[in-house]
Amino acid sequence: MTQVYLSAKLPKLATDMLERAGLSYDVYDGKGLITKEELLAHVNDIEVLITPLSTPVDADVIAAAKNLKLIANFGAGFNNIDVKAARQRGIDVTNTPLVSSTSTAEVACGLMLALSHRIVEGDKLNRTKGFDGWAPLFFLGHQLAGKTLGIVGLGDIGKNVAQRMAAFDMKVVYTQRHQADPATEAHYHATYVSLDELLKVSDVVSLHCPLTPETKHMLTAPQFKLMKQNAILINAARGPVISETDLLEALNNQEIAGAALDVYEAEPKFADEFKSLDNVILTPHIGNATVEARNDMAKIVTSNAIAKINGKAPKYVVN
């Protein structure tokens, strides 16, 4: 009997750890993402399912896994899993928080810099028609120093972003469901405001909130109209936090100056119209795509698998 099934290839240290623990495992090695049919065919006898954020684990899959004890999600999010159905079966669901925060924050900060200074746009220009030389008014962007950064969600990633961009002399405001304690605000030089106020005063709006029923389509047409015309939007959180249709309209109407997206509403698909806009950067969900972050994530899911099979409590249970 296979004890652990990995529905995607993970860093090698994951299977090395399973082997050292003496656990039997199988790994999906097909092309592209695993299909539901393929997943159903492999979960019947397993005790642990290790799965990436891109694999839906719905009630059908959970019902088919008769011996399942743990679903170890390879990602900080877990909206791909029917956590309620898992709990009804007594199955733990875990995620991999914190370890990807640095990498995701670095990507968000990089997107701010790239968009503000038109770096991707400039690279595209040089790879095509080129440029005639330096000129005083040529290819102007905006510096971030002295500007206001609005962070939606001052969790671990948001805090990492605040800390880094404070070094760029940005003023930081934030919003979330509950205001942070005074010590946290003082440490990150962050001021609590409402979402509407944040959108009105921010030159850069950076999203770092989880996807919940309350945050789905948090930003739609009315919110984009509140933003400054020279403001830019960064989304390295979850795609459905934004209405991409409304964002596209706001960009086309020049209601905001630009956007950088690392996640998408119907990922991996997004509207082709975004591709033609020079003031938009589109990255393929690379927020935590670093060797360091992915190795740390692999350690968590594998350690949890080993613990659960050995009758111990796993870490980071979300249900």
Let me know if 238 is a catalytic residue: yes
Report d(CA 60, CA 140) in Å as an integer. 54
Report d(CA 17, CA 135) in Å as an integer. 57
**Catalytic residue (choose from 121, 185, 249, 267):** 267
Collapsing DSSP to helix, strand or coil, 41 comes out as coil
Residue with tokens 């119907």: 266
DSSP output for 212-278: -TTTTT-B-HHHHHHS-TT-EEEE-S-GGGB-HHHHHHHHHTTSSSEEEESS-TBTTB--GGGGG-T
User: CA of 219: how far to CAs of 205, 245, 266, 289, in Å?
Assistant: 11, 11, 16, 26
**Catalytic residue (choose from 238, 244, 255, 265):** 238
Collapsing DSSP to helix, strand or coil, 257 comes out as coil
Let me know if 20 is a catalytic residue: no
Let me know if 267 is a catalytic residue: yes
The residues that are catalytic are 238, 267, 285
